[in-house]
Amino acid sequence: MQDDSFISIRDVSKHFGDVHAVDQVSIDIAKGEFFSLLGPSGCGKTTLLRMLAGFEFPTFGEIFIDGQPMSSVAANHRPVNMVFQSYAIFPHLSVSQNIGYGLRNDKLSKAEMEFKVDEMLELIKLQGYGDRQSTQLSGGERQRVALARALIKRPKVLLLDEPLGALDKQLREQMQLELRALQRSVGITFVFVTHDQEEALTMSDRIAVMSEGKYLQIDTPNQLYEAPQNRKVADFIGTVNFFNARTESVAGGKVSMDAGPLGKLSAAPGKLEFSEGQNVLIAIRPEKFSISIEKPASGNAIEGTTDAAAYLGDRSHFYVRVNGVDKPVAVSAQNMDRTHDVTQTHQGQVWLSWEDDAMVILHED
Amino acid sequence: MSTKNKFGALGVFAVSYLAFVYIPVLFLPLFSFNDSIYVAFPLKGFTMQWYYEAFQSDGLMSSLKNSFKVGVPVAILSTALGTLAAKAVTRYRMPGKAPVMSFIMTPLVVPGIIVGVALLIIANMIGVTLSLFTIAIAHVPMCAAFSMWIMISRLEGFDKSMEEASFDLGEGAWMTFWRVTFPLILPGIIASLLLTFTISFDEFILASFLGGSEPTLPVYMWSQLRFPNTLPRVLALGAMILVVSFVLVYFAEWFRRRGTQIKTSSGV
Ligand SMILES: Nc1ncnc2c1ncn2[C@@H]1O[C@H](COP(=O)(O)OP(=O)(O)OP(=O)(O)O)[C@@H](O)[C@H]1O
Ligand SMILES: [Mg+2]
């Protein structure tokens, strides 16, 4: 267990019969962190979260929260609270009764209880809603009530399972900002499950990208985008172009490669290890290319034909066909010049150029 | 045009169906007010005499009491059992769920006469005296199956993360049941109590096989059919039971519906 980690998931696996829903996952989460679990449907996000909450117990491995092993602690005795995907608002109780539900065991006077509930109503900006029947709330209001009901317990960790999944796009974006601001102000560790990469990128301090019960990479949003460690992560987060290459020499913090139609290239290896004569993938994001009609004077460049172009206002997207490369190369260019419509003038032959550090070298797998 | 025709045909069907079911039944109240001991047209005149006699008849009143003595405990016990069984099959992953389910549901389809004979043989074998108690024992499995059927749909109707939320907020199993599960399934429990009571109250075959010298109301009524002069007061009682059963079933259905509404309006 790391010293500064607040939640420590140690080699945890969860099997449902033959299904390995979570497979040997180790994650350390720091106090006060906004940590997201991101991955496609069925990759085990909910299962991992439910193990933190105490609704499922690991088949193997151990979970520590604030230094305490959780294997023999039931859900109702853990210092965590959860916001359910369905919100699980109690329909037979009013808004206040829902929010105050968890206070029964705290032996508070009626006045103290009311004070705490009012405090929460204010936090979620639903003052005056206390006496409403919870069945009369809108989706966004239900989401807030679920949040308040969990936060009133002052948990050390708040678990959120796709809490914004049921909201429409506009409300969702607003709630993303509110949730993030709230997390900063209460200072509670958040573990947030989502399958929406944009949501994870905008909200999280760190993200664990999961696939088929395992995690592929745990990193900051920036690092996941700019320095993915494998093909799946690069592919899952944003758009990316892959090119096949073969290493020629590895020395002095540089990997030199023969990239076929792209010519001889050299780039820093990042955190991965490479040997000579190895088949690798070069990953380049669309916005790392520059597009021009004239051949650039120097640097990495390649000629191609524009296949399709889309004007998006602030930027334009191109697909450029390059001889010897199977898939058209995705390129995104900022529209810096008001009077110059690149989608019109760039029909036909163009040059793509890029810097050495635009390239991420990945193992071929 | 064609939908109109279809509706017409359906309407005719519905009306004749209801007529077929209810007109014979309506003869009961009709003749119960008829001032003649013969159940035949033409009607003679209006009288409340049969109702008065029904309440005066000791046999009738004691059998009515017997029916309550069986029906009330049977309703409570079978609803409790049905609720627990429904909770088990809907909430826990358990091996052999399907066979267990069909095993519990069997009493609903096995003919009463077979169950009655079988239980009678067993009662004789182990030497139990036939009484209201043996009737109740026979009614419970049948009513519990009905109850379970009602409670399963009730429990499946609500999001089980609601119970998890209660655990998450610090409550144990018992308080979670009391504060969340019970209020949410209460309409189902009331519906189940009313329905199982009605079933036990109306049940004839098991009651006549296993009742010994203590007849329940249907058994008593049947025994009175042989005597023409007591027939009208049986009709009077039948009419009252008809009204009470109708009210009970109506309320049971109303509670069941009310529950469903809560469920749908709370869905995300
Ligand atoms: N109780 C269970 N019994 C059997 N299999 C289960 C159970 N719960 C989850 N699984 C399986 O475990 C895998 C992971 O499920 P999980 O719910 O954790 O996925 P998820 O990442 O949350 O997906 P989603 O984004 O769709 O919610 C799935 O293949 C699922 O079918
Ligand atoms: Mg999930």
Flag whether pLDDT at A345 surpasses 60: no
> Is there a domain that residue B244 lies in?
yes
Confidence (pTM):
0.77
Flag whether pLDDT at B260 surpasses 60: no
Q: B187 to chain A: nearest residue by CA? A: A92
* CATH code for the domain in which residue B177 is found: 1.10.3720.10
Average pLDDT over residues B1-8: 56
- pLDDT at position A4, please? 67
Neighbours of ion ligand 2 (CB under 5 A): A 46
Instruction: State the greatest distance between any 2 C-alpha atoms of chain A, in Å, as a whole number.
Output: 78
For the segment B137-171, what is each residue's pLDDT rounded down to a tens digit? 888 988 998 899 888 888 887 788 899 999 999 99
Torsion of CA A62, A65, A67, A70, to 10 degrees: -40
Flag whether pLDDT at B264 surpasses 70: no
> Is there a domain that residue B253 lies in?
yes
- Give the ipTM: 0.80
User: pLDDT band at B41, cuts 50/70/90?
Assistant: confident
Of residues A62 and A167, more confidence is placed in A62
Sketch the domain layout of chain A as residue ranges: 5-234, 239-363
Residue ranges making up the domain that contains B221: 54-265
B252 contacts: CB under 8 Å, gap ≥ 6: B190, B191, B192, B194, B195, B198
Average pLDDT over residues B105-109: 78
Residue range A239-363 in CATH 2.40.50.100: yes
Helix axes B97-105, B132-156, angle to 10 degrees: 130
> Is there a domain that residue B40 lies in?
no
For the segment B220-240, what is each residue's pLDDT rounded down to a tens digit? 888 877 777 777 778 888 888
Of residues B91 and B189, more confidence is placed in B189
Q: What three-state secondary structure class fits A324?
A: coil
Which one-letter amino acid corresponds to residue B166? Answer: S
> Is there a domain that residue B26 lies in?
no
Flag whether pLDDT at A185 surpasses 90: no
Count other C-beta atoms under 10 Å from residue A119's C-beta: 13
DSSP, residue by residue, A56-100: S--SEEEEEETTEE-TT--GGGSSEEEE-TT----TTSBHHHHHT
Residue B169: its chain A contacts at CB < 8 A? 76, 81, 101-102, 149-150, 153
- State whether residue B170 sits within 8 Å of chain A by CB: yes
Q: Do B262 and A91 touch (CB under 8 A)?
A: yes
Are the C-beta atoms of residues A225 and A238 closer than 8 Å to each other? Answer: yes
**What average pLDDT is seen over chain A?**
88
> Is there a domain that residue B21 lies in?
no
Q: Do A149 and B169 touch (CB under 8 A)?
A: yes
- Total structural domains within chain B: 1
User: pLDDT band at A310, cuts 50/70/90?
Assistant: confident
**Residue A139 distance to chain B (closest CA, Å):** 7
Are the C-beta atoms of residues A365 and A235 closer than 8 Å to each other? Answer: no
- Residue B91: alpha-carbon gap to chain centroid: 26
> Is there a domain that residue B160 lies in?
yes
User: pLDDT band at A341, cuts 50/70/90?
Assistant: low
Residue B171: its chain A contacts at CB < 8 A? 76, 102, 104-105
Flag whether pLDDT at B247 surpasses 90: no
- pLDDT at position A56, please? 92
Superfamily of domain A5-234: P-loop containing nucleotide triphosphate hydrolases (3.40.50.300)
Q: Two tokens at A235?
A: 């592919």
Pocket of ligand 1 from Cβ distances under 6 Å: A 16, 19, 21, 39, 41-47, 195
> Is there a domain that residue B113 lies in?
yes
> Is there a domain that residue B205 lies in?
yes
Flag whether pLDDT at B4 surpasses 70: no
